[in-house]
Structure 1
Amino acid sequence: MLGNLGVFFIAAFFEILGCFAFWSYFRLERSSLWLFLGVVSLIFFAYILTKIDVEHAGRVYAIYGGIYIISSLVWLVLVEKESFNKWDIIGSLIAVLGASIILFGNQK
């Protein structure tokens, strides 16, 4: 199960990249090539998420939610050069706690 964590983070990267590409096109008025990047990234994200070794899709998505929140905050700092605040930290810790309960509580 711990090997899945790397796959979760790779999936999160592609989802965030894909969504940020659309954000860049629509909000930052970047070129239409950003739309292509967004579509390709989101396809990779969806495919990679199918490689998680968990039996039910809904459980994968629930666990992924916590990973996505942490990954989004890392993106915020590394790509957007914006610091996170105490509410970002508190909220992400709660989300990761919930995801961890689902992940480790369902191990056989």
Structure 2
Amino acid sequence: MLILKTTALFFVTALAEIVGCFLPWLWLRKGASPWLLLPAAASLALFAWLLTLHPAASGRIYAAYGGIYVATAVLWLRVVDGVRLSMHDWLGAAIALLGMAIIVAGWKGA
């Protein structure tokens, strides 16, 4: 149950980080409105706050979060960017998720 709850929270956290970085990218690379920087800043603040909701030490949280971030970014690549995923994309995301699950499983013993 801990892994499912943690994974869901990390997924929301990853979306907040990706959106917070994607909006300035739209402004700088695609000529979108600089007003996008306001929701981008809010999204990055939400991202930082969400990372504080975990019970483990910060280093473990960041390490485990990295796995979810990789998988979420690959999904973003497919859904938002419209890129067809390769076997390498899927395999890399799966390995990152496995690493995250191993780290989270060890939180009880730490």
TM-score, structure 1 as length reference:
0.91
Within a 5 Å distance, the mapping from 1:1-108 to structure 2 comes to 1-2=2-3, 3-54=5-56, 56-108=57-109
Gaps of at least 5 residues in structure 2 are none
Instruction: Determine helix, strand or coil for the equivalent of 1:17.
Output: helix
Gaps of at least 5 residues in structure 1 are none
**8 Å contact from structure 1 (residues 66, 99) kept in 2:** yes
**8 Å contact from structure 1 (residues 25, 32) kept in 2:** yes
Note the aligned Cα RMSD (angstroms): 1.2
Residue 53 of structure 1 and its aligned partner are, at CA, apart by 2.4
In 2, Cα distance between the equivalents of 1:53 and 1:82? Answer: 36
In 2, Cα distance between the equivalents of 1:13 and 1:34? Answer: 16
Residue 44 of structure 1 and its aligned partner are, at CA, apart by 0.5
Give CA-to-partner distance per residue, 1:35-84, whole Å, 9 cap, x none: 11211110000001111222x00100000000001111111122122121
TM-score, structure 2 as length reference:
0.89
Deviates more, 1:83-92 or 1:60-69: 83-92
- After superposing on structure 2, the runs of 4+ consecutive aligned residues of structure 1 that deviate more than 4 Å are none
Read off the aligned partner of 2:19 and give its amino acid letter.
L
In 2, Cα distance between the equivalents of 1:52 and 1:84? Answer: 31
